[in-house]
Structure 1
């Protein structure tokens, strides 16, 4: 049986400096969260058999990791992943000059300040109330419901639960409907934090593929639901993160029908649903085709710091959601809800500004690829948050490490996978200002050239010191 480490290593291959390469890869798995500190790793003998390498190679890789503080080895207790006692210096978003491409979120909308000022008057009328609201302010729920109706899904305000962002909505949904030990179908690639949430609640992840050009393999997805009969399926049907694909209407209807027969709860993430640049058509919300819980958010259209999201559910699902919520929190901040009301009153302008930013960001990524990574094609990106770049080979993790040495944080492709694969892909956000993106692509090009020249990134050289 494959170990979790072996699964996370995925497409790792090395022809020279095998022990060093393996140590580098395990270290990266730890730094980006695919392996957790304290997790037990396979024995030298077991990992050697699994990877088809000599035991001496595995022993050397573990020695390199131990020297850097990335594993702890105790006789009788095996080898466990660790973080160095002395914090490693690695670029963080707050460091001067670092560009953080792990973030795919548009900057604050120009109308946010004015909306905040107007919201203060709205908040003043609430100061005499207790301030708690499990389902959210009625004016905000009314506006969210009205938007669903405009998109082709009649919705009552009573079907909306306001949350503190989309991930908080996911947490509430899993608290209400999650089933530990049951299968959960997820797209591959998908949003990493949602995958983490499903793992944390004890779900067994079953992947189904999504690609930028072809989108979903509808037959694979349907067959997986029928074979696994999962408790739930987590999907991003509109401007899929990270591929940008949109699920066709007929595929939605077919999937909704199959999910009904398998007893599968469809949880559909709509945080990117209205980030249209030039798709050319607009599908109805997924729940227009059959039962589905929908998750939405203000953070992708207004500002990442705008922590307001929502759940659109059936009337039958509402009591279970509201019963689960008090164990998590007692309501979302009223001021932010008031600001969201003001912003949604001018939603068309809000979406137009987001679209213009994304269009400029998409062009900057395309220009950067052409200038600095020749031969790496720009995929079609009709909307959404990012370009899912095919590097042409399993270089994403190594490229990510090399980029760190140049003040660029780039999440490797396997971070978007449930099983450690996809190392030939990288997600590049189209959300940053063009001048920031241009500099990011220049640094990425430097890392690309160094990688293909055979240079090891400084951050992959594990020495006896805990400081790299």
Structure 2
């Protein structure tokens, strides 16, 4: 079994790579978090054997990384991942003039302030209570359930738990039903932090491909039937990062197959309301099977600062989730819940704001891509981002060049399970148009640098979360 380093590098991309190129690729893995600080790397001899390269080449690779502060080495001992002491914290990106495209999220909806003001009497009325909310406020669970019902999946408030965001919801589900060593089906590409959560619970991942054109539904069902994974994590609406939407017929087929194989579907609907001009509205996957577990969030339609989400599941699982939840949190903040009640009472206004902002952001990205020969932007009907086709496996090189230009941009492999997707690049369509135009100008410069081999160390930028 190969080392985690080589798995993350993607050995198929390393044929003939120079010591400088290898060092740059490892540096990229560290910068975007696929290798963690303190993690032990293979010895020079072991890595040379695994890559089929000379030991002197690996010595130069590790030497370069050590000189830049990306690894620490003990004589006769281990080589471990580090970050340069000069690296600035991620919160300093804006102050340094960098534009952070690792976060695909809009600023707050204009209605957030008024909703907050309207929510205060509701919050004040609860001052005589304990303030803990393990299941969530009844009126908020009713509002979330009503939204599911309106979209075509009849839902009772007792089938809803309010959580501190969608990722928190995923972790609660995995803490409740997770089985170490079991298989999990995931899309490729997909949301990186969901992959990390599954790895943390010791799942073995099976990938099914998704691109801007959508899923290979037969591949999904064949994998379910052949491997019978314990669970599957899917993003069927405005998939992150490709923006694709799974058709109704495929939803029904996958849900039915998963039920027959005993696979629990975790469906992430964080992006479900981010419609620009899709022209049709699919049924939630929960409409096709009572065993589908759905997670959702307010962060993409209201504001990332609202750490509020939910789980929709059958009552028996809800009981199990409630039994496990106190082991790591005692509920969701009441203020955010009160605000969410107000926001959900006027979903048409909320979604119209989202539509206008995403349309403007999409157009700004499209204009920027048009000035970069060789890059293709697929038609993007909604969601957080455009999944660009670079036409060649150069995503990591472009990402490193972008950092040198003050642009924080995760490479395509950040969204994969094993160092692949070097042709892809996720660019958010969520920033204000003027900020996006600035970002695209920097990306164009980085694209030119990468095509001409002018990729520096970019040693001053630390790794980032991807949202």
TM-score by length of 1: 0.94
Distance in 2 of aligned mates of 1:162 and 1:459: 41
Partner of 1:355: 355
Q: Distance in 2 between matches of 1:148 and 1:49?
A: 54
| CA distance in structure 1 between the aligned counterparts of 2:82 and 2:99, rounded to whole angstroms | 27
Shift of 1:94: 3.3
1:395 aligned residue: 394
Q: In structure 2, what is the equivalent of residue 409 of structure 1?
A: 408
The 2-side partners of 1:251 and 1:149 are apart by: 21
1:71 corresponds to = 71
Q: Is the 8 A contact 1:401 1:460 kept in 2?
A: no
Q: Give 2:443's aligned residue.
A: 444
- Please name the residue that 2:202 is paired with: 202
1:45 deviates by: 2.9
Q: Which residue of 2 aligns with 1:466?
A: none
Tell me if the contact between 1:48 and 1:55 (Cα under 8 Å) persists in the aligned partners. yes
Three-state SS of the structure 1 residue aligned to 2:173 is helix
C-alpha distance in 2 between matches for 1:454 and 1:434: 30
Corresponding residue for 2:228? 229
RMSD: 1.7
Which residue in the other structure is 1:48 paired with?
Answer: 48
Q: Confirm or deny that 1:220 pairs with 2:223.
A: no
Residue of structure 2 in register with 1:93 after alignment: 93
CA distance in 2 between partners of 1:195 and 1:212 (Å): 20
Matches within 5 A, 1:449-468: 449-459=448-458
CA contact (8 A) 2:68 2:459 kept: no
SS at the partner of 2:321? helix
Equivalent residue number for residue 420 of structure 2: 421
Q: Name 1:247's counterpart in structure 2.
A: 246
| 1:450 CA displacement | 1.6
Structure 2 equivalent of residue 464 of structure 1:
none
Equivalent residue for 1:60? 60
Matched residues in 1 for 2:348 and 2:439: separation?
31
- Partners of 2:87 and 2:405 lie apart in 1 by 16
Equivalent residue number for residue 346 of structure 1: 346
**Aligned equivalents of 1:39 and 1:48: distance in 2?**
19
Compute the displacement of 1:41 (Å). Answer: 1.8
The 5 A counterparts of 1:64-463 are 64-75=64-75, 77-84=77-84, 86-89=85-88, 92-213=92-213, 215-290=214-289, 291-371=291-371, 373-459=372-458
Give deviations 1:158-212, integer Å, cap 9, x for gaps. Answer: 1110011111111111111111111111111000111111111221222111111
Deviations 1:425-458 (A, max 9, x none): 1100000111000000001001111221221324
Contact between 2:123 and 2:334, CA under 8 Å: does it hold in 1? Answer: yes
Q: Deviations over 1:143-169 (max 9, x none)?
A: 110010100000001111001111111
Alignment partners' CA distance in 2, 1:359 and 1:330: 39
C-alpha distance in structure 2 between counterparts of 1:237 and 1:103, whole Å: 20
In structure 2, how many angstroms separate the alpha carbons of the residues matched to 1:25 and 1:458?
10
Q: Would you say the 8 A contact 1:235–1:268 is kept in 2?
A: yes
- The separation in 2 between residues aligned to 1:458 and 1:199, in whole angstroms, is 29
Aligned partners of 1:314 and 1:231: how far apart in 2? 17
Q: Which residue of structure 1 lines up, in the alignment, with residue 465 of structure 2?
A: none
| Pair 126,199 (structure 1): closer, same or farther in 2 beyond 3 Å | same
Counterpart secondary structure, 1:316: helix
Question: Structure 1 residues 107, 319: closer, same or farther in 2, change over 3 A?
Answer: same
More displaced stretch, 60-69 vs 379-388: 60-69
Once the two structures are superposed, the pairs formed by residues 22-41 of structure 1 within 5 Å of their partners are 22-41=22-41
1:20 deviation in Å?
1.2
Aligned to 2:464: none
The total of aligned residue pairs comes to: 458
Does 250-259 or 347-356 show the bigger shift? Answer: 250-259
Give the drift of 1:75.
4.9
SS at match of 1:459: coil
Q: Measure the CA separation in 2 of the matches of 1:228 and 1:389.
A: 31
Q: State the alpha-carbon separation in 1 of the partners of residues 207 and 22 from structure 2.
A: 25
- State whether residues 109 and 303 of structure 2, in contact with CA within 8 Å, keep that contact through their aligned partners in structure 1: yes
8 Å contact from structure 2 (residues 400, 455) kept in 1: no
The offset of 1:90, in angstroms, is 7.9
**Aligned 8 A contact 2:87 2:459 in 1:** no
How far apart are the structure 2 equivalents of 1:89 and 1:334? 34
Cα drift, residue 71 of structure 1: 2.2
The residue aligned with 2:463 is none
Confirm or deny: 8 A CA contact 2:242 2:387 kept in the other structure. yes
Structure 2 residue ranges without an equivalent (≥5): 461-467
Moved more, 198-207 or 134-143: 198-207
- Single out whichever of 58-67 and 420-429 deviates more from structure 2: 58-67
Looking at structure 2, the residues matched to 180 and 422 of structure 1 have their Cα atoms a distance apart, in angstroms, of 27
| Structure 1, unaligned runs of 5 or more | 462-468
- Give 1:141 deviation, angstroms: 0.6
Q: CA deviation at 1:408?
A: 0.8
Cα gap change, 1:90/1:114 in structure 2, threshold over 3 Å: closer, same or farther? closer
